[in-house]
Amino acid sequence: SYTTDTKSREENKKTIESLYSLSVDIKKIRRLKEWVLLQDAAYVKEIAGILQEMGADETAVANILERCPEAILRTPEEINSQRALWQLVCQNEKQLIKLIEQFPESFFTTKYHQNQKANIMFFQELGLKNNIITRFLTSAPNIFYNPLEKNKNVIETLQRSYLNLGGSEANMKIWILKLLSQNPFILLNTSTTIQENLEFLQKNDFTDHEVLQLLSKLKGFIFQLNSTTMQKSMLFSKNVFHCSDQELKELVLKCPALLYYSVPVLEERLEGLLKEGISVAQIRETPMVLELTTQIVQYRIKKLSAIGYDVKSGNLESLNGTKKDFEVTYGKIQSKKERPIFNPVAPIHIKD
C-alpha cells in the first residue's frame, strides 16, 4: 500500500536523520528500497527501541534495518503483537532476536498477523515441535499467510489419502508430521491437486502400497507436480531406457526423480553422463544418479579418476548419495587403492 512513485516525492528528512543516528547505511537503502525513505510516516526510533529491548545491540539493529528497511513503516503496536506471537514458539528473546537478524523480512511481514496466529496454534495442536514451527516461520513464511481453513483442508486430504492407501491410523500422525517437516510447501497446494496426482499414479498401475512408498521417498514433492509433467517425464524415461510399463514402474520406485524432474532437466543430466562415457545401460542399472546435477557428477567423476578409479568400467553406485555419502565412499576407495600389497608388520626373512 506504499507508493513507489519516486519522481514526485522527496525523502523524509526526519527518517534519514533517525537512521543516521543508528549508524544505518542510507546508501544501501537508497539502492535497494528507496521508496521506504519517501514515506511520510516512519517509526525508526520506536522500532529500534523494541529491537534493543529484545537484546539487539547497535550493530544488529543497523543490520536489521538495512536488510529490511520497511520495518520502520510498521507501527510499534504491530511489532509488539508480532513479538508476542513469535514468543509462542521461541525459547526466549535471545533466540527470537537471533531469528529476526537472520530473517527480518519474515518477522516484519505483519499483514497476515491473524492467519499467522491461527496457523501457529493449529501446528502446535497437530503435534509439530516449536523448533520445527520456527523453522517454518523463517524458511516457509508463506504457509502462515494462508487462511487456517486452507491449511486444515490440505492436512485432512493428506490424512484421508494416507488411510485410503492402506496406511494405519496409528502411524498416520507420525507420517503427516514427517512429511510436513521435510516439505512444508505442501501446504501451498490445493486439496484438488493432491487428489489428482494420487489418482494419476493409481491410473498408471502403481499399487496403493507403492504410492505410499513414493510419497515417503518424494518427501511430498509429488504434490507440487501435475499429471501432464509426470506423464511426459515417464514417457521420456520409457523411451530412453527401452523398457516395458512394469520395468518403468520399477525404475520410478527405485528413483522417484524420474517422475519429479521435468523432461529438459532429465535430458540435460542424461547428456552430461553420456558425455563422461557412461552408458545408458549403466544409468538404467543405477538411475538414482539422475538425482544429481551435471556439475556434481562431473566433480565426483574427476575426483575418483584422480585416485585411479574408473567409473565407466563399473557401476555408478560410487557417484550416488549426499555430499557426506560420497565422501565416505571416496574415502573407502582411496584407502583400498593405497593399501600396501605386503603385510608391513610381518617378519622379514633374510638368508644368511
pLDDT digits (tens, 9 = 90+) for 82-119: 999 999 999 999 999 999 999 999 999 999 999 999 99
Q: Considering only CA atoms, which of 308, 329, 264, 309 is closest in space to residue 290?
A: 264
Mean per-residue pLDDT, 139-151: 94
The answer to whether residue 23 sits within a structural domain is: yes
Residue 44 lies in a domain: yes
Asked if the model's pLDDT at residue 132 lies above 70, the reply is yes
Tell me: the pLDDT tens digits for 188-234?
Answer: 888 888 888 889 999 998 999 999 888 877 777 777 788 899 999 99
Q: Using 50, 70 and 90 to split pLDDT, how confident is the model at 352?
A: very low
Residue 102: which of 153, 140, 69, 60 has the closest Cα?
A: 60
What was the pLDDT predicted at 60? 95
| Statement: residue 136 has pLDDT above 60 | yes
Sign of the torsion formed by the C-alpha atoms of 321, 290, 209 and 161: positive
Q: CA of 335: how far to CAs of 130, 161, 174, 299, 325, in Å?
A: 43, 48, 40, 20, 16
User: Is the pLDDT at 6 greater than 70, yes or no?
Assistant: no
∠ Cα 289 295 296 (to 5°): 50
Instruction: Answer whether residue 36 is part of any domain.
Output: yes
So what's the pLDDT on residue 137?
Answer: 94
Contacts (Cβ under 8 Å, ≥6 apart) of 308: 337
Q: Do the domain assignments include residue 301?
A: no
Looking at residue 350, its pLDDT comes to: 52
Residue 231 domain-assigned?
no
Q: Which domain holds residue 74?
A: 11-110
C-alpha cell at 238: 520409457
Interval 266-302: pLDDT, tens: 999 999 999 988 999 999 999 999 999 999 999 999 9
Cα dihedral 232, 237, 239, 245 sign:
negative
Q: In this predicted model, what pLDDT tens digit does every residue of 16-36 receive, in sequence order?
A: 999 999 999 999 999 999 999
Report yes or no on 55 lying in a domain. Answer: yes
Record the pTM. Answer: 0.77
Output the pLDDT for position 339.
61
Long-range contacts of 267-275 (CB under 8 A, 24+ apart): 267/236, 268/294, 269/293, 269/294, 269/297, 270/240, 272/297, 272/298, 273/297
Joined grid coordinates for residue 38? 519517501
pLDDT at 242 over 70: yes
Task: Read off the pLDDT band of 335 (50, 70, 90).
Answer: confident
Instruction: Give me the pLDDT at residue 351, please.
Output: 54
Residue 91 lies in a domain: yes
- pLDDT for residue 342 is more than 60: no
Q: What pLDDT is recorded for position 182?
A: 87
What's the pLDDT band for 1 if we cut at 50, 70, 90?
Answer: very low
Specify whether the CB–CB gap between 209 and 164 falls below 8 A.
no
Closest CA to 83 of 126, 44, 53: 53
Q: Virtual CA dihedral for 150, 191, 152, 136, nearest 10 degrees?
A: -80
pLDDT, mean of residues 147-172: 92
Q: Tell me the percentage of the chain whose pLDDT exceeds 90.
A: 65
Domain-located, residue 317: no
> What is the domain count for the chain?
1
